Structure 1
């Protein structure tokens, strides 16, 4: 009874370690729990703090004096007869504060675009790993099905080989297929572990995720086609791709920086008031004070020149990014189109026939209607074909995900 209870606990813990989730469920967990996204959001908050800081003016300065030594009365620190103080405030000229604030706001827009870049990249990883996991599990089911039969068959042949009823050559032939199937299974399990770990990191969910997709949903996804042709996709990518928009915003940002640096060449005013008790022309006089640097040269000309070069650099980067993005979209579209057409040529009836032939081959071999050589040749061909079909489906999904990443708008029905 205790052993049975222990077995139930083990089975229960295994089941709870698996969590069935749709792609939308994974999306929701990803947006709530992904640590990289949560960390990147602080960049936007820091940019807000920079805007706040840019709006702050220099503090007013206050200074004063008292007499240190009165030579007439020979008294030290004679504050009763000689003292004064002044208050001054720095006044920014040439639109410095306005330009600094505009540059800080532009930096926030860059931070928001960087967040969008990260969001798109991580979402692409989420979708890719989700469908990779789904198709690897289908491959594992197929391999397990073949292994179940081939292991039983190999055991039977080993018994008959020991009795001398079948040749050792036939046993080895079967053994080679079993070894290949087990090798396939090792590779698939390794991939499954990698995809499961990636999904855990992306979603923040500690349990293994079981993709919740019906066979009909999977078929429908493979039939989807993008809106428009490659030229439409290029246009949409230029309008929505966060990487490209970031480069364009960098041009505006560098222009604002150059404008701010240029305004720093304009001298600022120091304006204030001064009270003097007895050392001035009049007793208890109040004076207006104005100070301004003498603009004998442009003190910030090096930064201005550097800012101009940054504008030219970002403009060239934008030209490159535009060409690069259009080329990537065209390439991704052609890859998707080729894979879609190849998979479309494999009809559902052909796949059903493949399974029917597989079942028929097993039955005929059991009945002795098929030789071992014919059977093993078919099993090897079936193993390769089954895995290739799953890979073709997965690669088509990856191509669609890649297009989504580049265009970053709804492009599939």
Structure 2
């Protein structure tokens, strides 16, 4: 009996040691699809080249530049003419028996826009170019932030999956050994079920982990336009040193954000646009003039009549007051939105800075030492369990504590890196490189 028990304990302990030595494998290997190792910088380079949302928004800038050129041009002249057709002699333009034949009438109308409408309309088009450029930068800022946090979270999940896989392998070996011992009566059915329950819990945790990975793989694949058979391995699992982070000053960060943020630039651009729109709406209240030089060969009071017509609408009823008032109110609204967004930017920077400081404070020497202590103690626990110096329950409790601690350590790294990404996002500048 002792020989059988020692053999089973040797089998279990060997399985545990092997499980702890297994590296974090990937579900990509299980499915046979290609893997792509990506760090943040490499992913951003691919993103700038391939992201379709970004490329589509780039066209908005080109479209608005084309509209600037269109806004500069004058209206086309209008040609009016008529010819006699009743006698079937369309080109009968002769004098017979002292009588002139053949009517010719030509009029050219040219609309002249007054009050600088073309200049003011062109200025509005130029404002739209700047606003579309700011909008494009803001789209890029949001997508880059999404990509960065996705890679950070994917790295954390993949590292955690490695822990689950190692522990599942260990528990599978234990379950197999204890099933044999259950047949010989060396362990109770209660202990056997307890081990299987731990394995079942691990398998559920691992399945949920893979589900979250798949969601992130889909999102990253869309952002980078990757092929469907590519599985991304995120190289974003290292904590960042505290020295650089502790040097950051909230006042400097807030000033940078107010200077750099494209959404704030867009809001200020809308503010300028609305001021220019007031001037444009006032210009629209001024009537435009139509000049019409004309020539009439025979149908006027004298032959070969040459005249000049001038026409303009009389601003008796419509003086564009409603549109002018609407433009003035919209300008006041834009002023308030700028003030509101400036306040929002300051609060976002402060919140991101506080999150980063708090996340970095967790990475002290004691927490770093905790990881090393847990790794070595896990091996010692295995040997103690082999010698039956600890009970099965004590071993399982330590096993669960090891899993929870290592999982939380990876989560802390992801939290810190995401806090850096949020700070960079709130400022629109890579204050700290990931």
TM-score (norm 2): 0.85
In the TM superposition, residue 331 of structure 1 has moved relative to its aligned partner by 1.4
Shift of 1:382: 1.3
Partner of 2:280: 260
Residue 84 of structure 1 contacts residue 276 of structure 1 at CA under 8 Å; is this kept in 2? yes
Residue 343 of structure 1 aligns to a residue in which SS? Answer: coil
**Is contact 1:130-1:211 (8 Å) kept?**
yes
In the alignment, structure 2 segments of 5+ residues that lack a partner are 1-27, 94-100
Is 1:132–2:153 an aligned residue pair? Answer: yes
Q: Does 1:208 align with 2:225?
A: no
1:64 aligns with 2:81: yes
Aligned pairs, how many? 396
Alpha-carbon shift at residue 348 of structure 1 (Å): 2.3
1:199-226: per-residue Cα shift (whole Å, max 9, x none)?
111111111122245x7xx244676517
- C-alpha distance 173-332 of structure 1, shift in aligned 2 (>3 A): same
Matches within 5 A, 1:267-278: 267-278=287-298
Residues of 2 paired with 1:310 and 1:239: CA distance? 24
In the aligned structure 2, how far is the partner of 1:23 from the partner of 1:334? 23
Write the deviation string for residues 341-361 of structure 1: whole angstroms up to 9, x where unpaired.
Answer: 123364422210111111111
Equivalent residue for 2:265? Answer: 245
Unaligned runs of 5+ in 1: 1-10
Please name the residue that 1:171 is paired with. 192
Residue 26 of structure 1 aligns with which residue? Answer: 43
Residue pairs, 1:13-412, within 5 angstroms: 17-66=34-83, 80-206=101-227, 207-212=230-235, 218-220=238-240, 224-225=244-245, 228-344=248-364, 346-412=366-432
What secondary structure is seen at the aligned counterpart in 2 of 1:54? helix
Structure 1: how far apart are the matches of 2:300 and 2:331?
53
C-alpha distance in 1 between matches for 2:240 and 2:344? 32
TM-score (norm 1): 0.89
- Counterpart of 1:107 in 2: which secondary structure? helix
Deviations 1:128-180 (A, max 9, x none): 11111111111111111122112211211121112211111211222222122
Contact 2:371 2:406 in 1 (8 A): no
**Shift of the alpha carbon at 1:69?**
7.6
